[in-house]
Structure formats: C-alpha cells, structure tokens
Amino acid sequence: MDNINQQIIVKSYPSGWLKESDFEYVQSPINKPGEGEVLIRNRFLSLDPYMRGRLSPTKSYAKSAEIGQVMVGSCTGTVIESKNDQFKVGDTVLNSLGWQTHGICNALEIKRIDTSEIAEHAYLGVLGMPGVTAWTGLIDICEAKRGETVVVDAASGAVGSVVGQLALARGCNVVGIAGGIEKCNYVVKELGFNACIDHQAPDFKDQIKSALPKGIDCLFENTGGAIFETLLLLMNPFSRIALCGLVSEYNVNPYGNRSLRSILVNRIKLQGFIVTDKPETWGEIIEELKRAYREGQLKYKLSQSEGIKNAPKALIGLLKGENFGKQVVKLY
Amino acid sequence: MDNINQQIIVKSYPSGWLKESDFEYVQSPINKPGEGEVLIRNRFLSLDPYMRGRLSPTKSYAKSAEIGQVMVGSCTGTVIESKNDQFKVGDTVLNSLGWQTHGICNALEIKRIDTSEIAEHAYLGVLGMPGVTAWTGLIDICEAKRGETVVVDAASGAVGSVVGQLALARGCNVVGIAGGIEKCNYVVKELGFNACIDHQAPDFKDQIKSALPKGIDCLFENTGGAIFETLLLLMNPFSRIALCGLVSEYNVNPYGNRSLRSILVNRIKLQGFIVTDKPETWGEIIEELKRAYREGQLKYKLSQSEGIKNAPKALIGLLKGENFGKQVVKLY
C-alpha cells in the first residue's frame, strides 16, 4: 500500500474514556508536492498524553483536533519526493502531519534531523518535545538545585525519565513514582533514581512518606488525582511545583484536591506550563539534552506499537499507563 | 479593674468550629517592669483569620498558641510605666502581647506609632499587617499591571479592601466578592471597586462570570472553597494567584477543589505567601500605604467589639464572615 495514504481521522469527541470508535481508518490518494514542497513518508508517530486534551471541543491551550480531519501529532519520516532546494530525497525530517503515512509539507513545517548517531525516534522523545518539557519544568519552573529533593510521577515515561536523570546530573536526590514494580525497578536500576514508589501499592502513602524524610523541594507533576493530593502534603516550605499534566483526570471527572492548604502554609509556588510557549528556548535546550544523551546521562525506553491502525489503541493504553517508556507507533 | 491584668487564655484546641469554650477568661496581677522594660496598657486587640491556624497542634507556618497561655495576637496600647530611655509614659506602641489588658515588653518587642494624624487602630489594619499583606500579594506575587483585571474575595475585609484600592490606584479593573448586599454596596460605592458580587446569591456563578467578560489576570485569594474553585475557571492565560487565605475551610474539612486543570491549561502561577516572611520589606511598604492613606486612596471600615471578654466571640464571628471591615476588640 505504498501508493496509498493511510490515515486515522477523528470521528467524535469522547465523553469520558477515549474509545477506539472515536477514530476511523481511511485511505486517500497520495498527492504530488507543489513548488517549494516535499512529500514525506512517515515512519514514527509520537503518542503523548496532551493528545487527549485536543480531542475535546473545550477551550484548551491548543486548537482542538477537528472532527473529520486527520488526528494531530508529531512524526518523523523521510522525504520521498522534493520540490524544495533545501530538502532532498532521503532526508529524515520531524513534522506535524499527524496520524497518516504520507503527507506534503513546506520548508517551514519540517525540520531535518540527523540520524547518523541518534535514533530517529529519539527526536520524538528524549531529544524532542518530551525532553524539552522535562528541562523546562525542572530547570525553568522548579529551579532545582544541588542537594534538593526532586519528585516526579509517571517516572518511567517519556517526560518523567528525563526529569529524573537531569535532576540526578544536577546533584539532586530523586524519587520517582510509577505504576507497578517493573517500572519502579527500571527507574531505580536502569535510570539510577534514588528511589521509586509504586502508586498501585496499597500502602503507597506510607511508602512515599518514608522515602521522603526531608520532604519535597521540587515536584514535577504529571498525573494529578490522589497522587498529587498526597504529594502536596509532603512539600517543604518554599518548594516549587511544575504542573505539567493531570493524566489520571483526563478521561474522568476532575479530582477534588483537598490539599491546597499546603500551598498556603508552605508558601509553595505551583505553576502550570506548556512547552510550546517558549519556542525560542528549544534550540539551546535540545543541544544540552544531546550532550547529556551522548555522555550516557539520558537513557530511555521505547514503547512501540506497530501499524497505523493500532494508533488509537496505543493512545488509550498510554492514557491508562499501560505503556512502558516513550510511546510511538512504527509505521514501517 | 485598672490594677488587674485581664487575660484570655487558650483552654483547648478546637476540632471543627472554634467555640467560646476553647478560651478562658482569667485575672492576674500586673507586674512591675524590670530594667529596660516598659509596662503597657492595651487599647486595641487585632483579630485576624490567621489566628485559627494557631489554635491547632498541626504544623503551620508559625508556632501554635499554647494551651494554658495567653492567646497570641497584635495589639496597640500605651506605655504606663517605663524603665527604658527610648520609651516614655504616654507613648502609643504596637506590640504582640496577645489577648490581655496589660503586659511588659522590652524595646525590641514594641514599636512606637504616631497617632497625631492616624488613628491608633489603623496600625492594626490598613497600615499594619493586613495592609502589608495586601501590598505583597498584589504587587509582589501577582505583579498587577495597569489595565489588568484584579479579583479579590473577602473584599470588604481588612486585607481585601486594601487589595482593591491599591489595584484601583494602579489603573486595574477591580472586581470584589463579598458576603451580602450591604458589604457589596460598600465595596462599590465607598471603596470605588468596579463591581462586587455577593457570593451568597444563588446565581453567584452566573453573576461573577458576567462581571468578568475579560476574565481574571490577578486573583487575590482569601476564602478558598467553592468560591476559589469557581474563580479558577475564570482565570486568563498566564494569570497569577496570590494565595493568602482559605478562611472558609479553616473550621471544616478541606474542600476538594476540582478546577486545578485550569492552572495547567492557562499556565497560571499560584503562590502561597505569608507576609512575615519578608520583614525587610515592611518599612517601605508601610510608608507607601501611609502616603496612599493620606491622599484618601485607602478608606477602611472598622468592626469593633468591646471588652476583652468578647474577644473569643468576635474571632468566631470573623471566621464566619460576620464582621464588616477590620475586626478589633476595644479594651477601654
């Protein structure tokens, strides 16, 4: 089917849990690039928790994905036909074509990536948006300093794993939170976190408290819900929280958080952020991430699904925490 | 009883609503000041919402009031006997003797105040801790700018009334929230707020939304609970919240706030603060407040209770929002 563009379009906005039937698989012809454009064949689709927010008519920080249109998202792929002098056939490029195997872009819509030493999919994870997100929350918002205690939940994920490793490199004490023993073992043994607590454990509250005898100075919050409510009570005076996600609440009614008094009593700074707000910072941050990656300070795990038809199922799994590491869909 | 020290001591830490029986009225002899000390007769006791937090064994930002000891608090009074060269009989001084008619202090524990042009009790309100609190939250935390929309709840109170007037003087659009029509009328007609919404109105949510067609840029939060939950959903992108109090939650179980997603989506900065954290800023802020006060930009209302025996009842009333303006107890 190399001469057909396979696409996943948005069929409906879910209420409650996202379902596979909210998407539809379609085929369409592959068009020819116009002057200044290139034709791309995608190899990896990135799946990220923010996508749930796009599948809603509610005002959010970015435009909704539109009903009847291709599902939005970042991808990497190869130029297979070029009408632009800056790009030649065979170039690997980052693009925002979304969930489709092929597509046409102009030069402003794509970025060439160097896969000679770095795997293509890393540009969707540790050296891409998730990596920059981790850096921004930990360094820019939390201002993590040597000797401080940093906590990150969803610790084995694309963002959390980078947060923890960046913090370790800065001399912080790093405690992760993840779902299940296997993820926790990986976070401690492979990534080198000082500890990682399984939030599925019945005595999670006791365990996390014991793991934090000096409290929390910086919290990188990805999950929300009862976990965030528990962590808020363990924050130190003048501590900082980067609110990056509330993934446990995206498909259900919002959680009623009863720990806000800690923000007052402990003079906490809690700040929400979206990594695309500061595009001017990306270049420098990615260079720093690349250095750390080359020096072996940024390990990561890939959670790979195969074939575009499996993208909806894989996104639902990601939102349920069933992935283990950076989730992508490999198209060929 | 001028030769007896009348005191209110803490008898028990309340669970749930503060009760008059949590305090006890006692009499004790008036002692003589030692070398370097002065004897003070208090005239005004300040009552403030933070006091509820002191009546608890739970760790908070300040030491608990101790069972069996005089209830803590700020006061103004007159030096009636002096063994200190810096203070003479008749001087009016700010002190922290708490709920008692008399007491002995050294020079470091008191501050002389000038009552020739400014009423003594103003130093417990608009030109004291509440005034500095208002300035710190609005200017230092919220960074309110000309043309922005500022919202403050408990708007007729000691802090809220100053927040709104400082914001008006800076060219902000100011919307207050208060309990009852009478307070709202005062806030708009006397203090000059652009609008004030009664949170007791059955259609409060609709009214506050209508009053904020451009959303909220700066929120000075005093009350918490359902009001805060509603306001969070009206915040603008990149808006700021100074979390000063959660008075509606101090005597009941903490409220489960379901609006935290707004902090993420709108990249809000929410910061708790305690005005005593930055004592070095007080002098300059109070000078600025005095200037504004002299220029008629800082009006305020006094809610005065009479007699030390009524202090417990007045504090309970304050926590229920029954006061109207800065609450003090006048001792003579």
The predicted pLDDT at position A106 comes to 96
**Given an 8 Å threshold on Cβ–Cβ distance, is A273 in contact with B265?**
no
Cα→Cα distances B237→A59, A222, B263, B269, B282, Å: 11, 20, 9, 10, 31
Q: What is the ipTM of this complex?
A: 0.94
- A261 Cβ under 8 Å from any chain B Cβ: yes
Partners of A173 in beta bridges? A149
Contacts of A246 in chain B (CB under 8 A): 260-261, 264
Q: What is the mean pLDDT of residues A157-172?
A: 97
Put simply, the answer to whether B256 touches A261 (Cβ < 8 Å) is no
Radius of gyration of chain A, Cα coordinates, nearest whole angstrom = 20
Paired residues of B81 in beta bridges: B39
Going by pLDDT thresholds of 50, 70 and 90, the confidence category of residue A1 is low
At B163 the pLDDT is 98
CA distance A68 to A279: 29
Condensed to tens digits (0 to 9), the pLDDT of residues B46-55 reads 999 999 999 9
Does B244 lie at the interface with A, CB-CB under 8 angstroms?
yes
How much of chain A exceeds pLDDT 70, in percent? 98
What was the pLDDT predicted at B54? 93
As a whole number of angstroms, the distance between CA A219 and CA A166 comes to: 14
pLDDT value, residue B277: 93
Confidence of residue A63 (pLDDT cuts 50, 70, 90): confident
For B251-303, the pLDDT digits (tens) are 999 999 999 999 999 999 999 999 999 999 999 999 999 999 999 999 999 99
Under-50 pLDDT residues of chain B = none
pLDDT-derived band at A59 (thresholds 50, 70, 90) equals low
Residues paired with A202 in a beta bridge: none
Short-list A294, A305, A26, A299, CA closest to A188: A299
Sequence spans of domains, chain A: 4-124+301-330, 129-276
Beta carbons of A243 and B266 less than 8 Å apart = no
Quote the minimal CA–CA distance from A240 to chain B in Å. 9
For A12, the token pair is 């409906």
CATH topology of domain A4-124+301-330: Quinone Oxidoreductase; Chain A, domain 1 (3.90.180)
Q: What is the pLDDT of residue B63?
A: 75
For A129-141, write each residue's pLDDT tens digit. Answer: 999 999 999 999 9
Q: How confident is the model at residue A2 (pLDDT cuts 50, 70, 90)?
A: low
Q: What is the mean pLDDT of chain B?
A: 96
Q: In terms of Cα–Cα distance, which of A328, A186, A128, A159 is closest to A247?
A: A159
Task: Using CB atoms, pick whichever of A60, A61, A263 lies closest to residue B270.
Answer: A263
Alpha helices in chain A (DSSP H): 51-54, 129-135, 160-169, 181-185, 204-210, 225-232, 261-265, 282-294, 311-319
Report the pLDDT value the prediction gives residue B61, as an integer from 0 to 100.
67
* Residues in chain B within 8 Å Cβ distance of A260: 224, 228, 243, 246, 254-255, 257
pLDDT value of position B64? 83
Nearest C-alpha of chain B: how many angstroms from A159? 16
Q: What is the pLDDT of residue B143?
A: 98
B307 Cβ under 8 Å from any chain A Cβ: no
The CATH number of the domain covering residues in B4-125+300-330: 3.90.180.10
Q: Which residue of B has its CA nearest to A261?
A: B246
A53 shares contact with chain B (CB less than 8 Å): yes
- CA–CA gap between residue A125 and residue A76 (Å, rounded): 11
Q: Quote the pLDDT of residue B1.
A: 57
CATH 3.90.180.10 fits A129-276, yes or no: no
Which band of pLDDT confidence, cut at 50, 70 and 90, is reported for residue A60?
low
Buried b (16+ CB within 10 A) or exposed e, A104-120: bbeeebbeebeeeeeeb
Residue contact B267–A269, C-beta within 8 A: no
Contacting residues for A4 by C-beta, under 8 A, at least 6 apart: A27, A28, A29, A30, A101
- Using a CB-CB cut-off of 8 Å, the residues of chain A touching B53 are 265
Q: For A83-104, write each residue's pLDDT tens digit.
A: 999 999 999 999 999 999 999 9
